[in-house]
Amino acid sequence: DHCIILAHETCQILDGAPLSVPTKSVVGAKELHHSTVGLLLSGTTVANMLPGAPAALSKQIHKGDVILSVGGEQATSGNIIAHLQNPDEPGTEVTLSIKARGGKVHAVTLRRMATSVVADKLRLFDLFTQVQTAAKGSTHGA
């Protein structure tokens, strides 16, 4: 019975075409961008990373790391987004100079990913989280 209930809840979650998330809702920008490395920044400090995006997949960047340069250009809170997005083409590479929380500096090369792909991965991650939460709820109620 729990499997039937969980399957029904999963179907309800899936009913809204989960992989058709508008890119603009993910990037939250006034203009639509075509590519991303999936970094969420506070100035030049990594605040978080989008699951499934190039930065997270590299496993070489962590929360609290500071980006010193992008593509050889010194990174500042005023220019970092422009440097990360230029060129705004999926598949292009960008090299970041990263200062880890421990002070070690290292280079990381990331391949930009289409924002629509990252949006789909983010939506899929959210979907699995919802299913996992529903599964835990149904086993605790037993």
Per the DSSP assignment, residues forming a β-bridge with 113 are 36
**The token pair that represents 93 in the structure block:** 């590479």
Q: How far is C-alpha 54 from the geometric centre of its chain's CA atoms?
A: 8
pLDDT of residue 29: 43
User: In 3-state terms, what secondary structure has residue 25?
Assistant: helix
pLDDT of residue 140: 60
Q: Write the Ramachandran bin of 99: left for phi over 0, alpha for psi from -120 to 50, otherwise beta.
A: beta
User: In 3-state terms, what secondary structure has residue 13?
Assistant: helix
| Angle, CA 119 vertex, CA 60 and CA 76 arms, to 5° | 50
> Residue 12: is its pLDDT beyond 80?
no
**111-121 residue pLDDT tens:** 999 888 888 87
The residue-averaged pLDDT of 15-27 equals: 41
108 touches 98 (CB < 8 A)? yes
pLDDT of residue 1: 43
The residue-averaged pLDDT of 131-140 equals: 76
* Proportion of the chain in helix, strand, coil states, percent, rounded to 5: 40, 25, 35
Selected residue with higher pLDDT from 128 and 75 = 75
Mean residue pLDDT across the chain: 78
pLDDT of residue 139: 62
Q: 70: Cβ–Cβ under 8 A, 6 or more apart, which residues? A: 80, 83, 84, 94, 95, 96, 97
**36-93 residue pLDDT tens:** 898 989 999 999 888 888 999 999 999 999 999 999 999 999 999 889 888 888 999 9
